[in-house]
Chain A
Amino acid sequence: MSREAIDFARSFMPALAAAAEVARSSGALAGRRVGVALTLEPKTACLVEALADVGAEVAVLGNAWSTKPTVVDALRDAGRFVTRDADELIDRDVELLADDGAVVTRRLHDQRRDRLPHLRGVAEETTSGVRPLRNMAAAGQLAVPVVAVNDARTKLLFDNVYGTGQSVVMAVLDATNMQMAGARVVVVGYGKVGRGIAAMARAVGGRVTVAEVDPVAALAAHHDGLEVAPLADAVVDADFVLTATGIGHTVTAEHLARLPDGAIVAVGGMGRPEVDLSDVELGEEVRPHVRAARAAGGPTVFVVADGRCANTTAGEGNPIEVMDLSLALQLRALDHLARYPLPPGVHLLPPEIDAEVAAAQLRFAGIAIDAPTDAQRTWASSW
Chain B
Amino acid sequence: MSSRIADPSLAAEGHRRIDWARRRSPVLDGYVRERLGTTLLRGVRVAVVVHLEAKTAFLATVLADAGAHVVAAGSNPWTTRDDVAAALAERGVEVHSSRRSTMEVWEEDLAAVAGTDPEYVIDDGAELTVRMARDHPERFARLRGVSEETTTGVARLRALGDLGRLPFPAIAANDAACKHLFDNRYGTGQSTIQAVLQLTNLRLPGKRLAIVGYGWVGRGIAAYAHALGARVVAVETDPIRGLEALTDGHDVADLRTALAGADLVITATGGLRAIGPEHVAHLRAGTILANAGHHDLEIDVPAIREASRAVSEPRPGVARFELGSDRPVYVLSDGALVNIAGGLGHPVEIMDLSFAVQAMGLHTLVSRDLAPGVHDLPPEVDRAIAAAKLASRGVHLDPPTPEHADTLTGLLELDTLRRES
- Total residue contacts A-B, CB cutoff 8 A: 103
- Report the minimum CB–CB distance from B205 to chain A (whole Å): 5
Q: Is B396 an interface residue (CB 8 A)?
A: no
Q: Mark B79-111, 1 if CB is under 8 A from A, else 0.
A: 000000000000000000000000000000000
Q: Please give me the residue from chain B that is nearest to A43 by CB atom.
A: B201
Give Cα distance in the complex from A39 to B16, angstroms. Answer: 31
A179 contacts B23, C-beta separation under 8 Å: no
Asked if A321 and B203 sit within 8 Å, CB to CB, the answer is yes
Encode B202-221 as 1/0 by CB contact (under 8 A) with A: 11111000000000000000
Contact across chains for A162 and B201 when beta carbons are under 8 A apart? no
**Are B348 and A179 in contact (CB-based, < 8 A)?**
yes
In the complex the two chains form, is B202's CB within 8 Å of A174's CB?
Answer: no
Q: Tell which of B205, B393, B394 has the most Cβ of chain A within 10 Å.
A: B205
- Residue A105 lies at the interface, judged by CB distance under 8 Å to chain B: no
**SS class of chain B's interface: helix, strand, loop or mixed?**
mixed
Contact B228 A203 (CB under 8 A): yes
Which residues of chain B come closer than 8 Å to A7, judged between CB atoms?
A: 314
* Distance A203 CA – B187 CA, assembled complex (angstroms): 14
Task: Identify which of residues 392-412 in chain B touch chain A, using a CB-to-CB cut-off of 8 Å.
Answer: 393-394
For residues 323 through 343 of chain B, which have their beta carbon under 8 Å from a beta carbon of chain A? 328, 343
Number of residues on chain B facing chain A (CB within 8 A): 41
Is the pair A166, B204 in contact by a Cβ cutoff of 8 Å?
A: yes
List, in ascending order, chain A residues with CB within 8 A of B16's CB.
Answer: 284, 286-287
Known A4-B314, A173-B190, A179-B350; contact A166-B201, beta-carbon cutoff 8 A: no
Is residue A181 contacting chain B, with contact meaning CB distance below 8 A? yes
Taking a contact as CB atoms under 8 Å apart, the answer to whether B224 and A177 are in contact is no
Contact of B313 among A1, A202, A286, A317 (CB under 8 A): A1
User: Once bound together, how far apart are the Cα atoms of A162 and B205, in whole Å?
Assistant: 7
Nearest-neighbour CB distance to chain B for A146, whole angstroms, equals 28
Partner of B314, one of A5, A163, A166, A315: A5
Q: Mark each residue of chain B from 24 to 35: 1 if its CB lies under 8 Å from any CB of chain A, else 0.
A: 100000000000
A81 in contact (CB, < 8 A): no
Judging by beta carbons under 8 Å apart, are B349 and A315 in contact? no
**A136 is an interface residue with CB less than 8 A from chain B:** no
Q: For window 176-198 of chain B, which residues contact chain A by CB distance below 8 Å?
A: 186-187, 190, 194, 197-198
A284 to B347, CA, bound (A): 22
Please pick, from B228, B350, B394, the residue contacting A200 in the complex, using a CB distance under 8 A: B228
Question: What 1/0 flags go to A184-218 for Cβ under 8 Å of B?
Answer: 00000000000000001011110000000000000
Closest to B263 in A: A365
Partner of B194, one of A11, A173, A284: A173
B51 in contact (CB, < 8 A): no
Question: Which of under 10, 10 to 19, 20 to 34, or 35 or more describes the interface residues of A?
Answer: 35 or more
* Nearest-neighbor residue (CB-CB) of B328 within chain A: A11
Q: How far is the CA of A40 from the CA of B228 in the complex (A)?
A: 27
Does B19 make an interface contact (CB < 8 A)? yes
Check A12–B202 contact: CB distance below 8 A.
yes
B69 located at the interface, meaning its Cβ lies under 8 Å from any Cβ of chain A in the complex: no
| Contact with B201, one of A9, A180, A181, A262 (Cβ below 8 angstroms) | A9
Q: Is A99 an interface residue (CB 8 A)?
A: no
Contact assessment for B229 and A4 in the assembled complex, using a CB-CB cutoff below 8 Å: no
Q: A284 vs B286: C-alpha distance in the bound complex, in angstroms?
A: 42
Q: Restricting to B3-42, which residues have a CB under 8 Å from any CB of A? A: 16-17, 19-20, 23-24
Query: Bound complex: CA of A223 vs CA of B100, how far in Å?
Result: 51
On whether the beta carbons of B312 and A4 are closer than 8 Å, the reply is yes
Whether A162 contacts B229 by the Cβ 8 Å rule is yes
For the complex, what is the distance from the CA of A231 to the CA of B343, rounded to whole Å? 33
User: How far apart are the CA atoms of A43 and B17 in the complex, in Å?
Assistant: 32
Known contacts A11-B286, A170-B194; A179 and B186 CB within 8 A of each other: yes
Given the contacts A4-B314, A203-B224, A316 and B229 also touching, CB distance less than 8 Å: no
Give 27 A-B contacts (CB < 8 Å), ordered by A residue: A1-B316, A4-B314, A4-B315, A5-B314, A8-B320, A12-B202, A12-B286, A43-B201, A162-B205, A163-B203, A166-B197, A170-B197, A170-B198, A173-B347, A174-B198, A178-B24, A179-B187, A179-B348, A179-B349, A181-B186, A181-B190, A262-B23, A286-B16, A319-B201, A319-B204, A320-B200, A320-B202
Leading 5 A-B pairs by shortest Cβ distance: A179-B347, A319-B203, A203-B227, A8-B314, A4-B314
Give chain B's interface residues, CB within 8 Å of chain A: 16-17, 19-20, 23-24, 186-187, 190, 194, 197-198, 200-206, 224, 227-229, 286, 312-316, 318, 320, 328, 343-345, 347-350, 393-394
Residue positions of A touching B, CB distance < 8 A: 1, 4-5, 7-9, 11-12, 42-43, 162-163, 166, 170, 173-174, 177-182, 200, 202-205, 237, 262, 284, 286-287, 315-317, 319-322, 365
